[in-house]
């Protein structure tokens, strides 16, 4: 018997497939709501707070602290429930969208509640949060400019099912941008291919199968903050067409950069914030962008080449910040991955003496944890904005502005 099988046997019988009737409680981080049955917590997808549903367990065993489940029958519906616009956004099918069954205004209220709960629980902060709409989608649809399609063993393209490697063949993705849909990825077979990257960039559409394909060598051009940005076709760029500009505007508003200031742009990607801030601090200022990914750092150097007072350092952010000459700053931008900046980076930023820090976060739990560490180092949350950059999904982007307390 394998180790996993032994552990499963110790935890008790597999409950997957069991159906229970539950009253649905509050929204939770992760695209589901909390329910309870016979003293056990269920994280239930495809439902909304206040509903009564029949839930089918998808993961969990007797003895587990919690179970995962799907709402397979709605017995008492929320007034915010709507018919999902996509036939694939159903229990057991495509895992890309979490909230298509809820009206858009309520989706944003649910996301705000998640951010508030994470701030309260992990950072001890009470904040009113409003999730703002962003120009560039059509009622929450048609916004995703980068889509990675999975391909099954038969060569059919689709999207992954929730918490699964199984591929859900789809007709077309309702949240994909029209230019992505027009590439016709799901209309033809892809034998011998594991995935297909479809990109609708400012410079035009691109389609890269893997394998075969030369994805890392292919470059597209995006447009934001009055500049062009070279980005690897499989590299990081915000997927909502309005996202890059909205985030730049929020960072500039929060930091209020001045001529001659020293700026650190950490987890800089291809240099978006470094470029915008570099123009504000002028030639008497200094901008250092720090990025770990080799291709992104190379593109950042290209993108910032016209700014003589800007430079790019490639390497692990925490290690780079130990270097002499990078320990002091007036302004800092953090745009870390979903795992957050981490304790060491937070400590280095706080030690820099920055008068203001802008933290761009794609995960409210990681943000709240890091805000608590900032508070330990004497930095307080001054303002926070939240943006609906990923309609129909659980994801929300925040821009937090911190300043030295007192």
Note the Cα 175 to chain centre separation in Å: 15
| Sequence-ordered list of residues with C-beta below 8 angstroms from that of 187, at least 6 positions apart, any chain | none
Q: Which residues pair with 207 in a beta bridge?
A: 198
Is 51 one of the annotated binding-site residues? Answer: no
Residue 335, annotated ligand binder? yes
**Contact of 244 with 238, CB cutoff 8 Å:** yes
Find the catalytic residue in 33, 86, 94, 362. Answer: 362
357 with 349: CB under 8 angstroms? yes
- Would you state the structure tokens that stand for residue 72, as one six-digit string? 């397979």
Determine contact, residues 231/299, Cβ cutoff 8 Å: yes
* Gap between the Cα atoms of 11 and 8, Å rounded: 5
Classify residue 204 by burial, with Cβ atoms within 10 Å: 0-12, 13-18, 19+: exposed
Q: 238 labelled as ligand-binding?
A: yes
**Phi, psi (5° rounding) for residue 96?**
-75, -35
398 is catalytic: no
Residue 9, φ and ψ in degrees, nearest 5: -65, -40
Residue 43 marked ligand-binding: no
Residues contributing to the annotated binding site for S-adenosyl-L-methionine: 238, 267, 291, 335
Name the residues annotated as catalytic. 362
Residues contributing to the annotated binding site: 238, 267, 291, 335
């Amino acid at each position: 018997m394998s180790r996993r099988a032994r552990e499963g046997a110790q935890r008790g019988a597999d409950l997957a497939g069991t159906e229970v009737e539950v009253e649905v409680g509050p929204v939770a981080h992760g695209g589901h709501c909390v329910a309870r049955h016979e003293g056990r917590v269920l994280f239930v997808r495809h439902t909304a707070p206040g509903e009564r549903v029949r839930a089918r367990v998808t993961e969990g065993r007797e003895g587990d602290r919690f179970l995962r489940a799907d709402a397979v029958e709605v017995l008492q519906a929320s007034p915010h429930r709507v018919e999902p616009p996509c036939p694939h956004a159903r229990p057991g099918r495509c895992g890309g969208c979490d909230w298509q069954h809820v009206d858009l205004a309520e989706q944003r209220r649910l996301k705000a509640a998640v951010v508030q709960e994470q701030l309260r629980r992990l950072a001890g902060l009470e904040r009113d949060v409003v999730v703002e709409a962003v120009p560039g989608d059509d009622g929450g649809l048609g916004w995703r400019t980068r889509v990675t399609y999975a391909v099954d063993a038969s060569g059919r393209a689709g999207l992954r099912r929730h918490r699964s490697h199984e591929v859900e063949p789809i007709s077309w993705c309702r949240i994909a941008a029209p230019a992505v849909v027009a590439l016709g990825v799901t209309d033809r077979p892809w034998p011998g291919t594991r995935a297909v990257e479809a990109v609708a960039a400012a410079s035009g559409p691109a389609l890269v199968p893997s394998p075969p394909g030369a994805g890392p060598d292919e470059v597209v051009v995006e447009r934001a903050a009055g500049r062009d940005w070279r980005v690897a076709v499989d590299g990081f760029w915000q997927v909502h067409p309005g996202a890059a500009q909205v985030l730049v505007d929020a960072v500039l508003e929060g930091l209020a950069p001045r001529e001659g200031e020293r700026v650190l742009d950490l987890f800089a990607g291809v240099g978006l914030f470094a470029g915008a801030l570099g123009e504000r601090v002028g030639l008497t200022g200094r901008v250092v962008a720090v990025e770990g990914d080799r291709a992104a750092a190379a593109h950042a150097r290209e993108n910032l080449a016209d700014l003589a007072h800007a430079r790019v350092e490639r390497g692990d952010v925490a290690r780079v910040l130990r270097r002499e000459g990078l320990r002091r700053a007036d302004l800092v931008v953090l745009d870390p991955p979903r795992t957050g900046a981490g304790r060491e980076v937070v400590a280095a930023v706080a030690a820099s003496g920055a008068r203001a820090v802008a933290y761009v976060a794609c995960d409210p739990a990681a943000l709240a944890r890091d805000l608590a560490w900032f508070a330990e180092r004497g930095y307080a949350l001054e303002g926070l904005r939240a943006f609906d950059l990923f309609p129909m999904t659980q994801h929300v982007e925040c821009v937090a502005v911190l300043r030295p307390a007192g």
